[in-house]
A and B are shown apart, each in its own frame.
Chain A
Amino acid sequence: KQEVTQIPAALSVPEGENLVLNCSFTDSAIYNLQWFRQDPGKGLTSLLLIQSSQREQTSGRLNASLDKSSGRSTLYIAASQPGDSATYLCAVRPAAAGNKLTFGGGTRVLVKP
């Protein structure tokens, strides 16, 4: 059974500092991995999707890497801003389970002005 872990559970940084969020998964047989952002009481916004054949994806200040063999993904957010404060969730789509996603517990980020 796939298990997804995100460490740390919470992170507080001063504005301008780079953010590094970690995601690990137990079964390397994945189809893709997706990073989401969730604001309090809201739905999920897709940030980046990395296919299993890719090593990284970039969008603006966001960069996500994937090391499938070691079961790890890292989301980097450069030059953090107070508006980046949210919970960040990673989710894996196992290769053999259709489109179902298994989510990590999330990292709650606070960027202090």
Chain B
Amino acid sequence: SAVISQKPSRDICQRGTSLTIQCQVDSQVTMMFWYRQQPGQSLTLIATANQGSEATYESGFVIDKFPISRPNLTFSTLTVSNMSPEDSSIYLCSASGGGTDTQYFGPGTRLTVL
């Protein structure tokens, strides 16, 4: 199984600022993803983080708002740019591959925007 860590675990930010969330996997994985979970809601996929190339975004999510990097097989970052209170959510990193179909999730980053 893969163990995924995220930093920070939570943050409170001011409107108009940006926050970068880091995701680290303890083993090499094929796929990495970023999800958003708004209060009381289920998970929505933001994008697939591709190693060494631009991320693949889902409908309703754009690179200018959620730039993503994945410089190697085990690390990715998600930036939430020009934040507004509507961006208050839990952001979760997930990964799969490395010989298993199971998708593993990090502990999440709880973001509150004032």
Q: Is the CB of B102 within 8 A of A100?
A: no
Extra 13 A-B pairs, beta carbons < 8 Å, given A43-B107, A46-B103, A89-B43: A31-B101, A34-B103, A41-B108, A43-B92, A46-B104, A91-B103, A99-B48, A99-B101, A100-B45, A101-B33, A101-B45, A101-B103, A105-B41
Q: List A contacts of B45 (CB < 8 A).
A: 100-101
Main secondary structure of the interface of A (DSSP, over half): strand
Query: Given contacts A34-B103, A46-B103, A98-B31, is CB(A41)–CB(B110) below 8 Å?
Result: yes
Q: List A contacts of B107 (CB < 8 A).
A: 42-43
Q: List A contacts of B94 (CB < 8 A).
A: 44, 101
- Per the bound structure, the CA–CA distance linking A32 and B65 in Å amounts to 31
Q: Does B105 contact A (CB under 8 A)?
A: yes
Q: List B contacts of A98 (CB < 8 A).
A: 31, 48
Per-residue CB contact flags for chain B residues 18-34 toward chain A (1 = under 8 Å, else 0) read: 00000000000011010
Chain B residue with Cβ nearest A105: B42
Q: List B contacts of A49 (CB < 8 A).
A: 101-102
Q: Does A104 contact B (CB under 8 A)?
A: yes
Chain A residue with Cβ nearest B105: A44
Q: Is the CB of A41 within 8 A of B42?
A: no
* Range, interface on chain A: 20 to 34
* Range, interface on chain B: 20 to 34
Main secondary structure of the interface of B (DSSP, over half): strand
- Per the bound structure, the CA–CA distance linking A46 and B96 in Å amounts to 12
Q: List B contacts of A99 (CB < 8 A).
A: 30-31, 33, 48, 96-97, 101, 103
Per-residue CB contact flags for chain A residues 83-113 toward chain B (1 = under 8 Å, else 0) read: 0000001010100001111011110000000
Q: How distant is A47 from chain B, measured CB to nearest CB, in Å?
A: 10
B66-114 contacts to A, CB under 8 A, are 90, 92, 94, 96-97, 101-108, 110
